[in-house]
Structure 1
């Protein structure tokens, strides 16, 4: 009878060991999952705290920048006033520019910037127009919009700066490949004028 019980006992011990292994593995997995969840929560809390701090810093910087801009503009206006009192001739020269509402900051000047004049063409002279529709992605409608904005030649498009590209991208739409247009315009200008 002992011979019959021995394999059963051994089999029972093996099954108990195997069950213990699986229970231990399951418990260990739950512990690791719990630690991962705790670490993820800590990470999320720290990340949200950092985002909130950065928002506060940016808002404070924006407020300080606006205050500094207003202070500089007020100082500039007082200097214009003092200068016009000291020299009436200079005051008459400054008055039209102030009345015209010219942008007071560099960013404002950049936004309203027009294309550079082509060499040899004076201000107010009629400028030659290039066929902008030869650039892939520019059709007659976009050519008309670009012409209305003052961009009539390949050289105008080739001279776009990164600020111009940002402003035009917002003004014309997000699907436009302005950098590619600028590069293609430079190539067409070189072919047409040999420069």
Structure 2
């Protein structure tokens, strides 16, 4: 026999009653939680469809803007091809030095292809920034300038005609690229 004394009977009854109360308190009420889960699932599904629709609308808008941009660029290029002297809003770019692409190389992104052009006599920081905008960022770029390029650079940077030749930018760039310092160059 499991229970032998009246105290043990009372304890057994109390344990059964406590277990029943604990089981009743811990019941999740399955219907309530299932309905909440279904409501949240519906809400999430609606949100997903709205987000997808908004993303599709944005993509369509971006495609329209890109198509408009391409049409405008084509119109400007056609106008420039027909009459380069009267093309409005276009700047005739300086010839890209040999060995470089017009968009710049990957080294330009990290600054490795740039030299300190202000080491050349006659180029200050402001003029260096203007040269960088024109695509001239290294001593090699200055070395490879032709006479026509020099004239175009002088026009764009508003320098007097012949300044680049007079100050011998090409020779200075060649010496700096070869590693000859200004002090050594003056002695030579």
TM-score, length-scaled by structure 2: 0.40
Judging by fraction of residues, say which structure has more helix.
Answer: 1
Q: Name the larger-Rg structure.
A: 2
TM-score, length-scaled by structure 1: 0.39
